[in-house]
């Protein structure tokens, strides 16, 4: 998976550095301050848009990513901003900190780049690393997303692979993330399988106009969720 992400970050990194933090992440930080939460992990931190915000807001900030380019970019941006955070090279199923270490984990546009088995494994690992009552803010790409229908069209043309139901790979272009697995989820699957062991605080389907790497518009549909670890 590391090699899959490397060309993507190298090609698109400069423009993605400019992305602002997600409003739901800002909202989570307000909630954590009210609850006294301090230790936060940005899982799949990418180029650090949320990690830098965590550090700037005074949290004990941690980030991990599978891409060496992303990790080095995060560290550079932290240095340039005079901020401090711990950034490690690791994938989403190998969080290095101890069990019960974090008050919250952010996994924004990360978990669905995998088969369902690995999604379940990653979320189980996140749950282990959260303290009792800790929060997970995450996203899943919806089965209603336009790229799911597009993947089915390409599958019929022999230009895509379906690894399992609703999990597709579109080979042939190393600089788009569609060459990596994408799992498209339903609400039932999220509630009953992926977030098992959590209390769902809220779960909403967010729709927007997306654009693919060639600039073509499509309906972008993601599930956004906040969940609390339960006993």
Cα gap 183→199, rounded to integer Å: 22
Most distant CA pair in the chain, distance: 53
* Torsion from C-alpha of 167, 172, 175, 178, nearest 10 degrees: -10
Which tokens is 51 given? Answer: 């990690």
Which tokens is 227 given? Answer: 């969940």
pLDDT reported for residue 1 = 45
pLDDT reported for residue 180 = 87
Cα gap 51→63, rounded to integer Å: 6
Cα gap 34→55, rounded to integer Å: 17
What is residue 82's DSSP assignment? T
Cα gap 130→78, rounded to integer Å: 25
pLDDT reported for residue 2 = 43
Cα gap 12→120, rounded to integer Å: 29
Cα gap 53→135, rounded to integer Å: 17
> 10-residue block means of pLDDT along the chain (231 residues)?
62 68 98 98 96 98 95 96 97 95 98 96 98 98 94 92 95 67 97 97 94 76 98 78
pLDDT reported for residue 48 = 95
pLDDT reported for residue 70 = 92
pLDDT reported for residue 214 = 65
Q: Does residue 22 sit in helix, strand or coil?
A: coil
Which tokens is 71 given? Answer: 């990790």
Q: Which domains does the chain have, with CATH numbers?
A: 2-141+182-229 (3.40.50.150)
């Amino acid at each position: 998976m590391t090699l899959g992400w490397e060309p993507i970050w190298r090609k698109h990194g400069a423009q993605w550095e400019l992305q602002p933090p997600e409003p739901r992440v800002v909202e989570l930080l307000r909630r954590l301050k009210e609850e006294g939460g301090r230790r936060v992990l940005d899982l799949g931190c990418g180029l650090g848009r949320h990690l830098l915000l965590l550090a700037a807001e005074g949290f004990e900030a941690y980030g991990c990513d599978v891409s060496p380019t992303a990790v080095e970019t995060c560290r550079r941006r932290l240095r340039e901003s005079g901020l401090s955070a711990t950034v490690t090279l690791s994938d989403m199923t190998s969080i290095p900190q101890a069990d019960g270490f974090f008050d919250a984990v952010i996994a924004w546009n990360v978990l669905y780049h995998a088969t369902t088995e690995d999604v379940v494994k990653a979320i189980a690992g996140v749950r282990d690393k959260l303290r009792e009552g800790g929060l997970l803010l995450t996203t899943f790409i919806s089965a209603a997303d336009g790229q799911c229908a597009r993947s089915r069209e390409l599958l019929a043309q022999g230009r895509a692979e379906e690894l399992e139901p609703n999990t597709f790979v579109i080979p042939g272009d190393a600089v788009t993330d569609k060459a990596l697995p994408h799992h498209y989820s339903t609400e039932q699957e999220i509630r009953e399988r992926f977030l098992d062991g959590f209390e769902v605080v809220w779960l909403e389907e967010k729709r927007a106009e997306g654009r693919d790497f060639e600039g073509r518009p499509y309906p972008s549909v993601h599930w956004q969720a906040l969940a609390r670890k339960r006993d």
